[in-house]
Structure 1
Amino acid sequence: MTELSLGEFEFDCGESVPDLTVAYEEYGEFTGDNAVLVCHALTGSQHVAGRRRRGDTAGQAAAWWDDIVGPGKAIDTNEYYVVCANVPGSCYGSSGPPSEAPDGEPWGTRFPAVTVGDWTRAQRRLLDELGVPNLHAVVGGSVGGMNALDWAKQHPDGVERVVAVATGARLDAQCLALEAIARRAITTDPDWDGGDYYPGDGPVQGLALARQVGHVMYLSKSSMEKKFGRRSAGMDAARDAFELDPAAGFFPYREVESYLDYNGERFAERFDANSYLYLTRAMDSYDLAGGYDSDADALAAFDGEALVLSFTGDWHFTVEQGEALAEAVREGAGRVAHHVVESDHGHDAFLVEPESVGPPLDDFLADGVRGRAVSDTVEEADTGDDFAPVHTSLFSR
């Protein structure tokens, strides 16, 4: 991990920090036209690939897309120069609530509110410092996909290809509601203390509960049924972090409860509660059409190529939302392919199914929308020179 100071930075909210630090990792060698920016998801980090280097990832134990990024992989670091930066507001090295303010104390909730647009501008500043004027591609999943879309919106001439994986132009009302519940779990924990809990563990139970809500959002109904069903884990498996009600001993402590409790606890050990509040609000507030008449209008200046990757079991960002994104690119000057993967893994499919993500991503980076694995799922419209590929299963039933 490398940290770079970008100097004074003004956020969309109008507030500034005197010295924004961005933590990043880079892979491969820059040759002038081979740069690929990878944007991480909500609680991911800059550690996108490779073995963990002790102390370098601030608690992020595993490279979150190691099956996709690396030598000979879909984003081939023998061919591409890959950069992944931790977004401002996070807790893996970039400036955010747990980092040090000018007075020597943690920022806490004094840190300015952050937006996806702030992430994009910070990344542009970082790439300027690294001597990268333009990007061959920007790739992101989930809210990282929103970040990738924002690049096409803010810097349409600075990126040739955009890959938006398991994402949408905005969150729907159901996801907004669940995110609000997750934040309430943090802010109603007495240990949150208005965000002023440093030093110390902070709202461990509240953050663990927030993560449990997130886990339910990331899994599909069918995947949860296959993985857990209604099976009991046995009372011996009950976690210590959550006090059980008096009647609990009469009823089974189910495997799904045990799974959520375990993962909630582990997450609270590695992530910062204030950062979780900041990043979820950034995701919730993102609207591709913001400042424009429509999504298509927001992307009208982008004349490159886009790949939208959706998963049938994903209800966080649905196939229909993916198709709406693709249609927005079609209405502008860009060319787009919408690749739909049959999967019951839910939203997490983009992380756990590299065999589904890798081939279309690999071919798109190399050959655009005419890449073999991409074009296998699209058909060319009979419109002369206008190439408008669409996912066949959506339109040929």
Structure 2
Amino acid sequence: MRTTEHLVVGAGLAGAATAWRLAQRGHEVTVVERTEPAAHDGSSHGSARIFRYAYPERAYAQMVVDAATGWVELAREHGASLLAPAPAVDHGPLRDPRALARVLEEVGVEHELLSAAEAGARWPQLRVDGEVLVQPGGAVIDAEGAVLAMLDQARAHGARILTGWPLGSLERTATGFVARAEDGRSLTAGRIVVAAGAWLPDLVQRLALPAGFVAALPRLDVTEENAFHFPYRDAHPHGTWPTTIHKTPQILAYSLPGGRDAGSAGQKVAEHAAGRSIGSASRRSGAVDPSNRERVTAYVREHLPGLVPEPYAETTCLYTTTPTEDFVVDGVDGVTVLSPCSGHGAKFAPLLGELAADVATGSAPAPERFRVGAAPARG
């Protein structure tokens, strides 16, 4: 039976980052992944996630600043950046660009406020909604590439990566844990980090966690979201397309250059957190919601005139969300649970790996708002 000091369950962005950080600190690490890293039916696949700094709360904006240092470090060690530069644009009456700008000023992030006319002159392919916040340091994250790069760095520091290893159960022993795969394979570990993404709801009762800890976990809502790729009307006539977040009483929409996910021929556009609740990744259907397609296509027609309002590719993806959209980074009795809620967690990956490594080794607690049983954050 194989033995390891730290066992990391899940090889998405969160698990890969944790393995990298633990191995980097000199710990013995084994990663077990249900299928393969950045699996296509998980939350860390593909080449297009938004990296942006704008948050209404200073704590999150500062965390992005801290995470950016980690992305630079990963690029240096990997030999290439996993972030493609793309300015980040925020607009809409419920996005409040001026309030976001005040937060960015506090944390020292470069930004500018543009009138609708100024933004329209800079990006005529967009039809903006009032004043616009621009973050020149925005980017598009290659999620799959980042997972593979972090795992490569973990391996370089001695970590083992086991694929096709779905965790079936976790049992406590006098010295740690026995982890058993669904097919009966097993290994022993001193400490466990569970970063299973949308499979976490199915695993919680199998993790040998105290009942009180399980009861105090925030509700994890797994939803099957829809995303669509719309073709550019011409070959990037205005230079690099920005990423956008547009929030109105009717819709919270985002867009970003689609990268290789759909042949780099268009913009990825979606409605944030508009999918159906499915309880767990195991109940994912893979079927796109026709009504969501209609809403997003209508949105493109009205607000993204630089795109042809006919999707040429579409997919579903998974969000795992707590009621406050805060993350879960906490542990008890040798088991650390890490859930960097989908929809806005990708940009924090290097930092979340640090936080999980701190909790797993006992070197530092996670931020209070991410601990199990923490009071709901106030806006």
Whose strand fraction is larger, Structure 1's or Structure 2's? 2
Whose helix fraction is larger, Structure 1's or Structure 2's? 1
Question: TM-score range, shorter-chain basis?
Answer: under 0.3
TM-score by length of 1: 0.26
TM-score by length of 2: 0.27
- Larger relative contact order, structure 1 or 2 (CA cutoff 8 Å, min sep 6): 2
